[in-house]
């Protein structure tokens, strides 16, 4: 299904509002440019509606605040009715890799708790099989031990660095290993194995399926997929 629109985020936000947000009270917000672009229109559509938003990063919190949205703290997470997020890659089984922006821990908490959620992403992020490393958030004290144990599992972790060569630090004060792996059908099993390593905080595999996925095409149309 494709819908022509000069700004695809306006129509996507309208669909999301009608299907999910209009009956919600607490909304979770993932991070990234697709979420921010959709949120601009969602804020206009929800004007006058009693909504509270739980952001997963400073980036999206600032964006929500600038739109005059009501911000709720983590105490409202168990009450999240709906969440909006993006993804770094989505495979043919609608599994996702997330964490390119470093917010994987909070995003996973929100998406695992939300009653419903949707993903908005550019078409290029929809792939047959994963083609990128998976981010793994790690406590700094476990930097060497986790590196050793990931390599022992046959994985290829690489410490994420910022432009000046310093280690990238998440908002939670942790480091990230971007970890190359051989695609497998048992992503959940791999995720569970990695998370048994002491010092691993979270893994950027997201196997919980969204209610629907919005794929934005290069011609600014979009397609909707439901797993």
CATH number for the domain that contains residue 211? 3.40.50.1360
Range of the domain at 72: 2-127+207-225
Clarify whether residues 211 and 200 are in a common domain. no
Question: Which residues does residue 71 pair with via DSSP β-bridges, in sequence order?
Answer: 53
pLDDT at 159 over 90: yes
Active-site residues, by number, are 107
What's the average model confidence in pLDDT over 158-173?
A: 97
Q: What is the pLDDT of residues 84-114, one digit of tens each?
A: 999 999 999 999 999 999 999 999 999 999 9
CA 140 to each of CA 29, 110, 178, 205, 219: distance values in angstroms, whole numbers, following the listed order: 27, 24, 15, 21, 43
pLDDT at 185 over 90: no
Looking at the structure, tell me whether residues 10 and 75 fall in a common domain. yes
pLDDT band of residue 6 (cuts 50, 70, 90) is low
pLDDT above 80: residue 5: no
């Amino acid at each position: 299904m494709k819908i022509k629109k000069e700004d695809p985020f306006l129509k996507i936000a309208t669909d999301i509002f009608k299907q999910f947000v209009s009956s919600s009270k607490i909304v979770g917000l993932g991070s990234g440019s697709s979420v921010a672009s959709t949120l601009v229109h969602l804020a206009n559509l929800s004007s006058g509606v009693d909504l509270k938003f739980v952001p997963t990063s400073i980036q999206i919190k600032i964006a929500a605040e600038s739109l005059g949205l009501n911000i709720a703290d983590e105490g409202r997470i168990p009450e999240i009715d709906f969440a909006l997020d993006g993804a770094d890659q989505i495979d043919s089984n609608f599994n996702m890799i997330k964490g390119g922006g470093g917010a994987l821990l909070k995003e996973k908490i929100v998406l695992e708790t939300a009653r419903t959620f949707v993903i908005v992403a550019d078409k290029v992020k929809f792939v047959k099989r994963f083609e990128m490393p998976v981010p793994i958030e790690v406590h700094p004290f476990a930097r060497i031990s986790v590196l050793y144990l990931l390599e022992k599992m046959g994985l290829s972790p690489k410490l994420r660095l910022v432009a000046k060569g310093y280690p990238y630090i998440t908002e939670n004060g942790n480091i990230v290993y971007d970890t190359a792996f051989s695609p497998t059908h048992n992503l959940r099993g791999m995720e569970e194995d990695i998370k048994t390593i002491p010092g691993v905080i979270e893994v950027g595999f997201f196997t919980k399926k969204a209610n629907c996925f919005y794929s934005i095409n290069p011609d600014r149309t979009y397609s909707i997929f439901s797993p």
